[in-house]
Amino acid sequence: MTIIVTGGAGFIGSHVVRRFVTNYPGYRIVNLDALTYAGNLENLRDIEQEPNYFFEKGNILDTGDLERIFSQYSPDGVIHLAAESHVDRSILSPLDFVYTNIIGTVNLLSVARKHWTGTKGKRFYHVSTDEVYGALGATGYFTEETKYDPHSPYSASKASSDHFVRAYGDTYQLPVIVTNCSNNYGPNHFPEKLIPLFINNIIEKKPLPVYGDGLYTRDWLFVKDHAVAIDLVFHKGKDFETYNIGGFNERKNIDLVKLLCKMMDEKMGNAPGTSEKLITYVKDRPGHDRRYAIDASKINKELGWKPSVTFEEGLSQTIDWYLQNTEWLKHVTSGEYQQYYQKQYQ
């Protein structure tokens, strides 16, 4: 079996690539990545020499790249993770999200449809977000039947791509699956999202900017558990189905930040309360959803998936990884890795 993983040098993508390369030595795993700011081949140094791993620098906005790779590898499956994913960036530059997340996805669907017409046993797996559902009140959970109600350019672009994936399934009978996940955290995460940003800021003794009153609530999913879920859905999920993947770990942002500060102080040998002094409340961002929470009972009942770690265990592992990989952190925050790989894959 040959599987193309788009965005495989990114945060979630690299964990998916590693899992498939390691667990399925008989598969060919093709990592298709444009190596933008969040795509980093250093994430895959440990498996890049494996005989079943292949890297292709390419952009899902370039149908020529997609045609070349589909013709060369004749994939049996696509796991589509390539996306612009940061809400703050989408507020500043929404068109980047329209191009990559919507047009890029439609390009990929169209090339897959062209190459797979008249064949069987193929699978197009689209990885999406719980943010497409909008915001919850104080109670309740997102289910697979929750109405879409995106509030940011990022979530609107992902909602649109979800609709296109399902439309290709309905219109052309392309065998598609969609999953919507909650906030991921873990090793190799580019330090722009809350947890890796705050870990890096604590290391560098910089302010910890908390939006608004800090009471925004998110469900947190350990990235390695997400990779296991993606593995299960790809192999055992049903065509044309949707599965929500959540960590069963609701936390208010300020509670998470204070826990992170406490754990960082313990691991770095700081006096208690040192890192918490760095917390700074900043102006809220526009369209900020108050609460997300996922009901992941469907994937649990149908495929047997559940998180393997508590939030505290996953956060502890995450902090340890960053403290042990300060060179990686230095490279990604300075842009050194980008200069190296852009030259290597010109």
Catalytic residue among 33, 42, 131, 162: 131
Q: Which helix (H) or strand (E) holds 56?
A: strand 53-57
C-alpha distances in Å from residue 120, one per residue of 68, 163, 175: 21, 23, 9
Q: Which helix (H) or strand (E) holds 180?
A: strand 176-181
Catalytic residue among 42, 65, 130, 295: 130
Q: Which helix (H) or strand (E) holds 18?
A: helix 11-23
In angstroms, the CA 73 to CA 163 distance is: 27
Query: 10-residue block means of pLDDT along the chain (346 residues)?
Result: 98 98 98 94 96 98 98 98 93 96 98 97 98 94 97 97 98 98 96 94 96 93 98 98 95 97 98 97 89 96 97 97 94 77 64
- Catalytic annotation present for 295: no
CA angle, residues 313, 315, 320, in degrees to nearest 5: 95
In angstroms, the CA 17 to CA 276 distance is: 36
- Annotated domain spans of the chain: 2-185+220-248+291-309
- Catalytic annotation present for 33: no
The structure tokens listed for 345 are 């894959």
User: Cβ(248)–Cβ(300) under 8 Å?
Assistant: no
CA angle, residues 38, 111, 163, in degrees to nearest 5: 70
The single residue listed with the structure tokens 């998110």 is: 218
Nearest-CA neighbor of 31 among 145, 281, 45?
A: 45
Category of 118 on φ-ψ map: left (φ > 0), alpha (ψ -120 to 50) or beta: left
- Catalytic annotation present for 131: yes
For the chain, the 3-state helix, strand and coil shares in percent, each to the nearest 5, are: 45, 15, 35
Nearest-CA neighbor of 61 among 89, 102, 116, 95?
A: 102
Nearest-CA neighbor of 249 among 188, 304, 190, 186?
A: 186
pLDDT value, residue 342: 63
pLDDT value, residue 336: 73
Collapsed DSSP state (helix, strand, coil) of residue 239? coil
User: Cβ(281)–Cβ(213) under 8 Å?
Assistant: yes
C-alpha distances in Å from residue 268, one per residue of 37, 237, 296: 28, 43, 35
Q: Which helix (H) or strand (E) holds 251?
A: strand 250-252
Please determine, looking at this structure, whether the domain spanning 2-185+220-248+291-309 carries the CATH number 3.40.50.720. yes
Residue type, position 299, single letter: I
Looking at the chain, how many residues does it have?
Answer: 346
Q: Which residues pair with 42 in a beta bridge?
A: none
Q: Which helix (H) or strand (E) holds 14?
A: helix 11-23
Cα dihedral across residues 262, 266, 272, 273: positive or negative: negative
pLDDT value, residue 346: 59
Catalytic residue among 53, 125, 133, 154: 154
CA angle, residues 178, 181, 184, in degrees to nearest 5: 140
